[in-house]
Amino acid sequence: MKTSISQQDWKDRAAQVLPAAGFGNFDPGLIIREGKGSRVWDEDGNEFIDYLIGSGPMLVGHGHPEVLEAVQEQLGKGLTFFTSNARGIELAEVLVEAVPCADQVRYVSTGGEADMYAMRLARAHTGRDKILKFEGGYHGMSGEALMSLAPTQLVNFPQAVPDSAGIPDGVRDNMLIAPFNDVAFATSLIEERAAEIACIIVEPLQRLIPPEEGFLLALRNLATKHGIVLVFDEVVTGFRFAYGGAQEYYGVVPDLCTLGKIIGGGFPLAAIAGKSEIMAHFDKSLVGAEGYTFQVGTLSGNPVASVAGLKTLEILKRSGAYETLRRNGERLMQSFRTHLEAAGVAHKIVGEPMLFDVVFTDRPVRSYRDMFNNDTAKSKAFNTNLRSNGILKPDSKLYAHLALTEEDLEQTDEALAKAAQACEQAGSANQI
């Protein structure tokens, strides 16, 4: 008779075969067994309302029946081919129709790949080498992306700080770093170094921090003026903030954007999307050998991922979907405020209703360095208490989604009341 294996047993096994006993993504002590709708269960059977949702892809919930039906139908026709396939072409048509900057798309498997290729594409198009990114901005795991992602050593801008071992100095030397939401600094830096800059890459919502009025538009105008490629990293915000992404939501259109997470419906799929004259560098017949940007991927445009993405985007396009998503997020935001204010805990709710979190500070949060004011002891107490009361959220964000029910929101509200009290009783620590 088969016996169940406990979560501790799985953790012990993981410690033997996985560095740091995990996949490198999340708390390795939590091993999820299954998910359905708005909820997940760990290997011990503990149930959680899920605000992690796979780090974003499961916007319509786990195991949505329409997505499962589409996937099951494709499974009988083939898992992957490496050649082009009709479902991937259909999805590309949907992406081009939806995303303002997109004339064409090129598939990869992960958002980090998409960001890497977007920077390479910009270099090919401009003939320049330097990349401007913003301190604290996350753009995957390439050498360029791992510059000043989460530096604890705060140096003078525009110097880059590597966040990982194994990155050559030459990568650092081709990166320029600016503070998010500082139009004056960005303008000064770009005006001085424009002839060297291939692209400006930016998350329209940087992790949690919204752009201040005029910031994204200033980047757009500067990029246009100096022939720089403006790249929006929309791996997180694409199809989350609006059907056309953050570029629709904020009303600023880049030259290129990167997409991931939601477009694969829970399967590995990502894309670079943008203007045809830049995307042409993926086509040697148009730009020649000197301008050609080489790119292949075994699973790029995988048909199973494509049908999952197609069905997910079809659900999101239906009337009322984004209104429901925003309403769920606003209600959660209000629950955070209500209980933290009642407990007398200094805090700021940072982000947009579709993606936000609480920062335990009484100071404004407008750039990465402001996050150093977060009271980490209170943050840890708050998140730990939520987990113990059946709420799964990442340490630094909360994803609202469409699978949430009235019962979920009421249970979350009750858990937030308890977490706010635990937070109020915690000591203070101000290091990130």
Residues with catalytic function: 138, 233, 261
Cα 182 from Cα 87, distance rounded (Å): 42
* Bridge partner residues of 351 (DSSP): 356
Apex 213 CA angle, 210 and 214, nearest 5? 115
- 24: its two tokens: 């490198």
DSSP 52-105: SGGGTT-TT-BT-HHHHHHHHHHHTT-S--SS--HHHHHHHHHHHHH-TT-SEE
b (16+ CB within 10 A) / e for 362-375: eeebbbbebbebbb
> 193 near 129, Cβ under 8 Å?
no
Q: For residue 87, give the nearest of 329, 273, 346, 267 by alpha carbon.
A: 267
Amino acid at 246: A
Cα 367 from Cα 77, distance rounded (Å): 48
> 118 near 199, Cβ under 8 Å?
yes
According to DSSP, residue 22 is labeled S
CA dihedral in degrees (140, 145, 150, 155; nearest 10)? 180
According to DSSP, residue 344 is labeled T
| Beta pairing, strands 398-399 & 32-36 | unpaired
